[in-house]
Structure 1
């Protein structure tokens, strides 16, 4: 499907995590170890928040990430305290710029790995539930973007975990009404520029891989000779589709059916369950 990375911490050059690690996201675009596909070359996207702007900048392209000169140029010169990066393997929708992640609406940014099963059958009913005020902002044809606008419709501005739970519950309800046994597979990252939320869930209970980085102070105690840890702030946190390297103790798997919220370097894990339509 796809591979993605979300960073929160003190401002860093984007290339620090996109290119430098042994198993960087750029390496994963060619050599994914844990994804459904080994190669993720159906486009890429990069989104970042500036230190003085409320809305994120987004750059997306349809070519593969591993040989894009513009991506390398941006990554070497842009610093950000919170950014998303995504390499895409299409599950059937067109390879076009508007289908590349991350997606943006106002201050919100969203990216996804997974799929809505039989989306072509469910697409109309799901799209009809999007708030008419928001509907015209949908640019592409992916299930991921529809999920984003459903979450916005269901109150993302007020309650991120609740809105994502209502989105997931609605997708499952529509899917099962159409006879789809396991409608939803998702790992999601969403941010408003201050906090980072990530979700791991699937209707089948066997979700795509997702990992978070452990506390920097813990890693320094485990690996006092690791030079790169000297330049990493204690507030650094990453959530990734698969680990960026093999350093023992650096990564922990996000539990099945859970979500995390990252703020000021702290990562809080909580259980996640869809909220079916009509439940108060």
Structure 2
């Protein structure tokens, strides 16, 4: 499984999240504490937003994060108010730049930790759900990229929450009772907000934590593991939850299609606001 992190807040050098904390994403690439594999060496990447353009910058490589001599320098000089970063332990698709996260299209960026159950068996059926324009965007062979394209095809630009729930339902419909479970923890952003999603068909969802309050530089982060190594400073995002983080705060919502009231609009008072 992979490790991922996202940040929203005042503009900071990426190193404040990606490389410098005691249990940074760089540290997790070799010493993950809450994953089946401690080492995530099948590539890495970063997507970051700047005010001058709605589309994120993107840097990805197939090298392990710890062996890329450019990473520390880039993270020191690149500044952003919103960014995603990811280190990969590949489960599907070969080790190639096209299979490294984050994936981007237009204003959207996306990073995933997990797997689609029995992906090799269901890949053709899942790809067949894509309209021609979305299928034409496919560059790699990983299930994560396909999941991102399904989100786009299901209306991510118009209603992100509806696109997420529709895509999860679509995956479930195609894979059915797969021998391998579907496990999805992902981060995505449109440049204005950071979204985190946790869902698994077997209830064993890859971890995701939200910083309990603002960090020392005034922002908030979502991460696979607490970046400071102190769980008391972080809130574990529950299973089957969508968490939305902006510069103004964070809130968690149950995924609508997985709740008993799934046939009805999510009432505002079911949302859990996180104190800042």
| TM-score normalised over the length of structure 2 | 0.90
For residue 30 of structure 1, what is the aligned residue in structure 2?
A: 30
For residue 221 of structure 2, what is the aligned residue in structure 1?
A: 238
Q: 1:113, CA displacement in angstroms?
A: 0.2
1:212-268 CA-partner distances (Å, limit 9, x unpaired): 00122xx7xxxxxxxxx2xx12xx110000111234631110011111111223101
For residue 45 of structure 2, what is the aligned residue in structure 1?
A: 45
Matched residue of 1:55: which SS? Answer: strand
Q: 1:51, CA displacement in angstroms?
A: 2.1
* Distance in 1 of aligned mates of 2:25 and 2:229: 14
Unaligned runs of 5+ in 2: 265-276
* Distance in 2 of aligned mates of 1:4 and 1:120: 24
For residue 247 of structure 2, what is the aligned residue in structure 1?
A: 264
**Which 10-residue stretch deviates more, 249-258 or 112-121?**
249-258
Matched residue of 1:112: which SS? Answer: strand
Matched residue of 2:244: which SS? Answer: strand
1:15-63 CA-partner distances (Å, limit 9, x unpaired): 1111111111000000000012100000000110012110001110001
1:94-127 CA-partner distances (Å, limit 9, x unpaired): 0000000000011110110000011011101111
2:118–2:179 CA contact under 8 A, matched in 1 = no
Q: Report the count of equivalent residues.
A: 260
Matched residue of 1:249: which SS? Answer: helix
Matched residue of 2:93: which SS? Answer: coil
1:101–1:110 CA contact under 8 A, matched in 2 = yes
Residue 198 (structure 1) aligned to one of 196, 200, 211: 196
* Distance in 2 of aligned mates of 1:164 and 1:173: 14
For residue 150 of structure 2, what is the aligned residue in structure 1?
A: 150
* Distance in 1 of aligned mates of 2:256 and 2:112: 17
Structure 2 counterparts to residues 65-80 of structure 1, below 5 A? 65-80=65-80
2:118–2:180 CA contact under 8 A, matched in 1 = no
For residue 224 of structure 1, what is the aligned residue in structure 2?
A: none
* Distance in 1 of aligned mates of 2:24 and 2:248: 21
> After the TM superposition, which segments of 4 or more aligned residues of structure 1 sit over 6 Å from their partners?
none
Unaligned runs of 5+ in 1: 220-228
For residue 132 of structure 1, what is the aligned residue in structure 2?
A: 132
For residue 112 of structure 1, what is the aligned residue in structure 2?
A: 112
* Distance in 2 of aligned mates of 1:215 and 1:175: 38
Matched residue of 1:180: which SS? Answer: coil
For residue 238 of structure 2, what is the aligned residue in structure 1?
A: 255
Q: 1:182, CA displacement in angstroms?
A: 5.8
2:48–2:84 CA contact under 8 A, matched in 1 = yes
1:175–1:183 CA contact under 8 A, matched in 2 = no
Alpha-carbon spacing, 1:85–1:180, altered in 2? closer, same or farther (3 Å) = same
Q: 1:172, CA displacement in angstroms?
A: 0.7
| TM-score normalised over the length of structure 1 | 0.89
* Distance in 1 of aligned mates of 2:196 and 2:237: 9
* Distance in 2 of aligned mates of 1:68 and 1:83: 19
Aligned CA RMSD, in angstroms, stands at: 1.6
1:189-228 CA-partner distances (Å, limit 9, x unpaired): 1111001111011011121111000122xx7xxxxxxxxx
* Distance in 2 of aligned mates of 1:251 and 1:15: 20
